[in-house]
């Protein structure tokens, strides 16, 4: 668990009274929340409740129709996604595919040459293998022959080595075997411990709640609960109609 924010601390991410829509369809209504640096916020709610829409607004992929988005004290409403990326916001998975015919290490080295320069590749590879030990074990394997979960780890390793300021983890564990989900969560913990703030959208509610400090429960595009996980009680279970299993 992260420490409580200092009184007067500046929020890393803040949404104020945000509505967002897809054409005429309004997906979220009056959504407000504050995410302080170093903390982990879980977005919970049933299918279609607006979780991914909030994630997309938070990474600039979708502009609000009303309301404002703030990052580290600046109003960033309406900025283009690449400017959000430059602030150190990563929305993952980004759908970035791997080069199937290259090895794991060649895939990573290609990215790190671009982001770190040739001399930085060795150190970046070591960091990637520390974050994802399984990739280290499979460094010589052709990426196209990795399992789906391992390919997801490979594409994540390419962005996470740079330690984003804000990682929006959007259904990262979707379709992964439980053992791989555990590994993805261990990686999220390491990234959190290294100082990255996390916004998590997750089907596996118990996994999300185990790492989160705060939670938001959405019902039909509106915030039904916003506060510490410790005070959530069984609200999420009642809203989601589950004992916390796998409903989104």
Binding site for ligand ATP (CB under 6 A): 22, 25, 27, 45, 47-53, 248
Residue number, 85 or 174, with CB nearest to ligand ATP = 174
Nearer to ligand ATP, 124 or 240 (CB): 240
Q: Tokens for 44, please give them.
A: 């919970």
The residue whose two tokens read 């200092």 is 6
- Smallest gap from Cβ 55 to ligand ATP, in A, equals 7
Work out how close the CB of 27 gets to ligand ATP at its nearest, in angstroms, rounded to a whole number.
4
| Angle, helices 121-131/178-193, rounded to nearest 10 degrees | 120
CA 128 and chain centroid, separation: 18
Q: Which is nearer to ligand ATP, 26 or 134 (CB)?
A: 26
Residue closer to ligand ATP by CB (options 37, 45) is 45
What is the SS3 string spanning the chain? CCCCCCCCCCCCEEEEEEEEEECCEEEEEEEEEEECCCCEEEEEECCCCCHHHHHHHHCCCCCCCEEEEEECCEECCCCCHHHHHHCCEEEECCCCCCCCCCEHHHHHHHHHHHHHCHHHHHHHHHHHHHHCHHHHHCCCCEHHHCCHHHHHHHHHHHHHCCCCCEEEEECCCCCCCHHHHHHHHHHHHHHHHCCCEEEEECCCHHHHHHHCCEEEEEECCEEEEEEEHHHCCCHHHHHHCCCCCCCC
Output 48 or 120, the one with its CB closest to ligand ATP. 48
Decide whether 5 or 93 has the Cβ nearer to ligand ATP.
93
Nearer to ligand ATP among residue 27 and residue 125 (C-beta): 27
Q: Shortest distance, CB of residue 7 to ligand ATP, whole angstroms?
A: 33
The minimum distance between CB 58 and ligand ATP, in angstroms, equals: 12
**Residue 109 beta carbon to ligand ATP: minimum distance, rounded to whole angstroms:** 34
Provide the minimum distance between the beta carbon of 84 and ligand ATP in the complex, in angstroms, as a whole number: 18
User: Smallest distance, Å, CB 52 to ligand ATP?
Assistant: 3
């Amino acid at each position: 668990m992260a420490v409580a924010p200092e009184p007067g601390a500046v929020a890393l991410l803040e949404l104020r009274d945000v509505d967002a829509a897809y054409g005429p369809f309004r997906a979220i209504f009056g959504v407000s929340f504050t995410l302080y640096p170093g903390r982990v916020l879980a977005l919970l709610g049933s299918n279609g409740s607006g979780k991914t829409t909030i994630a997309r607004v938070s990474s600039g992929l979708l502009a609000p129709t009303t309301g404002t988005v703030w990052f580290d004290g600046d109003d960033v409403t309406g900025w283009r996604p690449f400017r959000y990326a430059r602030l150190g916001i990563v929305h993952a998975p980004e759908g970035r595919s791997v080069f199937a015919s290259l090895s794991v290490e060649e895939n990573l080295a290609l990215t790190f040459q671009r982001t770190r320069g040739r001399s930085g590749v060795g150190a970046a590879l070591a960091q990637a293998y520390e974050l994802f030990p399984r990739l280290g074990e499979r460094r010589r394997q052709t990426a196209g022959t990795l399992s789906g979960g391992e390919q997801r780890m490979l594409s994540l390793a390419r962005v996470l080595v740079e330690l984003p300021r804000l990682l929006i983890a959007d259904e990262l564990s979707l379709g992964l075997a439980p053992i791989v989900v555990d590994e993805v969560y261990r990686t999220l913990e390491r990234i959190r411990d290294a100082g990255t703030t996390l916004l998590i959208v997750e089907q596996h509610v118990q996994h999300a709640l185990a790492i989160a400090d705060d939670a938001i429960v959405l019902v039909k595009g509106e915030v039904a609960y916003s506060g510490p996980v410790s005070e959530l009680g069984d609200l999420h279970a009642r809203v989601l109609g589950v004992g916390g299993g796998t409903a989104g």
